[in-house]
Amino acid sequence: MARACLQSDVYDYNVEMVDAMTPEGKKSGMKLTRRTDNGTILGFTSDQYGLVDNAPLVDKAEAAFESAGLEYTKRRFLVTNGLKKDSLGARFRAIYDFGNENMEIPTRREDRQVGDVMGMRLILQNSFDRSLRLSFALGLVRLVCTNGMQTMERELDLTRKHSQKIDVDSLITHDNVTQALELFKGAGDEFARMSQKSIEHDQGLNILGNLAKKKVFSEKTREGVATIWNNPSHEEDKSRNLYNLYNATTQFLTENVAESRFEMSDNTGRKVLQTLSLAASNPNRLDKLVKALPVEGVSVANN
């Protein structure tokens, strides 16, 4: 049975480390991380692991934004990873959208250019089960529809690893935030390149079929993305290229998955971007990706 995927916006809880005991009642030498409010076990680690509670990180991040002259236009807290509503807490993300920090991606619509405006998104990440680095993940938000989008940039680590020597005051600084802003300014190059890689409409449907076959996403997701690809919601998305195929994917994920299953949406979007980005720069990969899936008993010509 698939594990329940729950999430919450209640992030201000404290976590402690306790000894992990053997069945004989002896100390194992390892530690468990545990919420102090409800006793939920969140992870398993060593005694060298350093905990950083979520609330101080949020305060420090927002102070750094203010110091750098950045004003967020939207904020969302997300706590995930648990089988029940009261067992959440192993992973935390604070999602900040900066609609005033934006760039324009040039996309071609017939014989004219149509600009697609992107705002900056920063995702502050923390975990108590060692599944997430303490970092900022850089993202983008399409201002025309507020779809969340990935980037190919690496996460900006705030510290190399959790350790008992962690100093919250030194984790998130003016320089961290300024560096993230510089990365954002260069993140549009990848999407501009994808927007210049034209495909036929049916080739886009073939790509979606091949992604479903490779288990990048489910058949239900393929159907939903195909519906948007067949009937774009926005003028900016009516041209037929890899960038707009990715837009159709992020629109479906944002509207149907992210609100209740952020991690699934985030992981799926990242995989699709990686696949389409590679195809934009590698003709052989693109040729394989646009081929129609064979139908049993029917001969299908390659596109």
Amino acid at the residue 131: S
The residue out of 186, 212, 232 marking a domain boundary is: 186
- Kindly state whether residue 260 falls inside one of the protein's structural domains: yes
Q: Given pLDDT bands bounded at 50, 70 and 90, which one contains residue 143?
A: confident
pLDDT of residue 281: 92
Distances from the Cα of 290 to the Cαs of 199, 242, 280, 282, in angstroms? 8, 11, 12, 13
Residue in this structure with the two tokens 């510089």, named with its chain if needed: 182
Contact predicate 211/222, CB 8 Å? yes
What is the Cα–Cα distance from 170 to 173, expressed in whole angstroms?
Answer: 7
Angle among Cα 152, 78, 148 to the nearest 5 degrees reads: 35
Helix (H) or strand (E) holding 245: helix 242-256
pLDDT of residue 290: 95
- Kindly state whether residue 241 falls inside one of the protein's structural domains: yes
Same domain, 70 and 162: yes
pLDDT of residue 166: 60
Q: Given pLDDT bands bounded at 50, 70 and 90, which one contains residue 298?
A: very low
Distances from the Cα of 248 to the Cαs of 234, 251, 253, 255, 287, in angstroms? 10, 5, 9, 11, 20
Buried b or exposed e, range 197-222, using 16+ CB within 10 angstroms: bebeeebbbbbbbbbbeeebbeeebb
Same domain, 27 and 91: yes
Q: How confident is the prediction for the chain on average, in pLDDT?
A: 84
pLDDT of residue 76: 93
Same domain, 83 and 143: yes
Q: Given pLDDT bands bounded at 50, 70 and 90, which one contains residue 108?
A: low
More confident residue, 295 or 23: 23
Q: Given pLDDT bands bounded at 50, 70 and 90, which one contains residue 12?
A: very high
Same domain, 255 and 114: no
Contact predicate 191/207, CB 8 Å? no
Same domain, 168 and 211: no
Same domain, 61 and 16: yes
- Give the closest residue to 216 by CA, choosing from 191, 241, 243, 249: 249
Average pLDDT over residues 253-263: 85
Query: Range of 137's domain?
Result: 7-186
The residue out of 186, 212, 241 marking a domain boundary is: 186
Q: Given pLDDT bands bounded at 50, 70 and 90, which one contains residue 188?
A: confident
pLDDT of residue 278: 94
pLDDT of residue 136: 86
pLDDT of residue 109: 53
Same domain, 171 and 237: no
Same domain, 161 and 22: yes
Same domain, 167 and 257: no
In tens, the pLDDT along 75-92 reads: 999 998 865 666 789 999
Q: Is the predicted pLDDT of residue 269 greater than 50, yes or no?
A: yes
Average pLDDT over residues 7-28: 90
Q: CB neighbours of 299 closer than 8 A, spacing ≥ 6? A: none
- Kindly state whether residue 219 falls inside one of the protein's structural domains: yes
Contact predicate 247/147, CB 8 Å? yes
Q: CB neighbours of 267 closer than 8 A, spacing ≥ 6? A: none
Same domain, 72 and 113: yes
In tens, the pLDDT along 38-62 reads: 999 998 888 777 788 999 999 999 9
- Kindly state whether residue 2 falls inside one of the protein's structural domains: no
- Kindly state whether residue 56 falls inside one of the protein's structural domains: yes
- Please tell me which of 20-34, 86-100, 178-192, 209-223 the model is most confident about, judged by mean pLDDT: 209-223
Same domain, 50 and 117: yes
Q: Is the predicted pLDDT of residue 224 greater than 90, yes or no?
A: yes
Same domain, 177 and 220: no
- Kindly state whether residue 191 falls inside one of the protein's structural domains: no
What are the tokens at 152? 């190919």
Average pLDDT over residues 241-266: 89
- Kindly state whether residue 298 falls inside one of the protein's structural domains: no
What is the Cα–Cα distance from 243 to 190, expressed in whole angstroms?
Answer: 9
- Kindly state whether residue 192 falls inside one of the protein's structural domains: no
Q: Given pLDDT bands bounded at 50, 70 and 90, which one contains residue 301?
A: very low
Distances from the Cα of 181 to the Cαs of 89, 102, 176, 296, in angstroms? 29, 10, 9, 51
Distances from the Cα of 190 to the Cαs of 77, 151, 182, 228, in angstroms? 28, 8, 15, 22
- Look at the chain and report how many structural domains it folds into: 2
pLDDT of residue 303: 40
What is the Cα–Cα distance from 209 to 104, expressed in whole angstroms?
Answer: 30
The residue out of 128, 161, 186 marking a domain boundary is: 186
